[in-house]
Amino acid sequence: MNSDNNEQQQIIYTGREPPTDPVFQIVYRDEDFVAVNKPFDVNIDDDGKDRINTVVKYLESQYPEMKDNIRFVNRIDYATSGIVFIGLKRKSTNEAAELFQKRTTTKTYLAIVHGHVVVNENDADNVINKPIAEDFSDQGGFKMCIGIDDPANPSKAGRQSETHYKVVQHTYLNDGSNRPVTKMILYPKTGRRHQLRVHMHSIGHTIVGDETYGPKDPLSERMMLHSWKLQMPFTKRPHLSLETLDPFTEMYIKK
């Protein structure tokens, strides 16, 4: 008897594959700026590699006149979806970049995190104020962590980082696992690498599908973090208020 017919072959999950046909959306466009709703698991640019789907390649294919004029004002992680703001002229790009540097923009993210987050009843807008540093234990040099005081290595202290958050809904994943999750609104006041991911992980509520700071998750098709809204309070031009659709509907979570 052939044992191959009697034994099930175990499938080993090694991580998500990038989308083969990602859908980009133009959120805003004028002669100075363009804002793109970036799909999840898509890179901003090639970064020295010959990637098929990137924000840059999408824009250059749709608007050939933008070639060599694309200047990113903000960036979001590969696994994060949502608003990416881009300048098309040097002067206007500098104007927008200054707003980010002075922290006068309002960035609003949506997230689905593991567990039911309990908020302070006396403060509807809770705050995580913890420094973020490079994780020197990560051989790939990719991960970040909460900073610690180490007189022998001051770089471990990290940089001041602040995130405000609000709980929207306690619910459960709609992937068959019925895992408890919380839908949240996150407001990063600073812009550190992986800030929202590290801060949520630090309070015991890792973002669903975040396989860098959480376990491998074959049931989640994506990391559930989305750059939802962006307000740009320009002083020499009209203010911009950008918004995308909420991607975290009944497809991902129960009502």
Average pLDDT, the chain: 91
* 174-200 residue pLDDT tens: 999 999 999 999 999 999 999 999 999
Flag whether the pTM goes above 0.85.
yes
The string over 172-209, giving b where at least 16 C-beta atoms fall within 10 Å of a residue's C-beta and e elsewhere, is: ebbbeeeeebbbbbbbbeeebebbbbbbbbbbebbbbb
Q: Which domains does the chain have, with CATH numbers?
A: 22-243 (3.30.2350.10)
Higher pLDDT, 3 or 96: 96
Residues catalogued as catalytic: 77
pLDDT band at 244 (very low <50, low <70, confident <90, very high): very high
* Span 69-77, average pLDDT: 96
Determine the average pLDDT of the residues in 212-221.
Answer: 94
Answer whether residue 239 shows pLDDT above 80: yes
Q: Which tokens sit at 107?
A: 């960035």
The mean per-residue pLDDT over the stretch 220-242 comes to: 97
pLDDT digits (tens, 9 = 90+) for 20-48: 899 999 999 999 999 999 999 999 998 76
pLDDT category, 95, cuts 50, 70, 90?
A: very high
Residue 3 has pLDDT above 70, yes or no: no
Rounded to an integer, the average pLDDT of 5-29 is 80
Ranges 54-63, 118-127, 178-187, 197-206: which has the least confidence: 118-127
Q: Residue 6 has what pLDDT?
A: 47
